[in-house]
Amino acid sequence: MNKARPHRQQAKFARLRRHLDLSLDPDKPRRLRTRSARYAAALAEQLGLLERPKGCSWCRRRSRLERHHWDYDQPLLVTFLCPDCHDIADGMVSRQEIA
Q: Does 82 bind Zn ion (CB under 5 A)?
A: yes
Q: Does 44 bind Zn ion (CB under 5 A)?
A: no
Q: What phi and psi values does residue 59 have, to the nearest 5 degrees?
A: -100, -5
Write b or e for each residue in 2-23: b if 16 or more Cβ atoms lie within 10 A of its Cβ, otherwise e: eeeeeeeeeeeeeebeebbebb
Residue (of 41, 19, 17) closest to 28 by Cα position: 19
Name the minimum Å distance from CB 60 to Zn ion.
7
CA distance 3 to 8: 9
CB atoms within 10 A of CB 50: 17
Q: Does 88 bind Zn ion (CB under 5 A)?
A: no
Q: Does 65 bind Zn ion (CB under 5 A)?
A: no
Residues 4-43 as x/- pattern, contact with Zn ion by CB under 5 A: ----------------------------------------
Scanning 8-16, 25-33, 64-72, 74-82 for contacts with Zn ion by CB under 5 A, the matching segment is 74-82
Candidate list 16, 37, 41, 85; residue touching Zn ion; CB under 5 A: 85
CB 35 within 8 A of CB 59: no
Binding site for Zn ion (CB under 5 A): 56, 58-59, 61, 82, 85
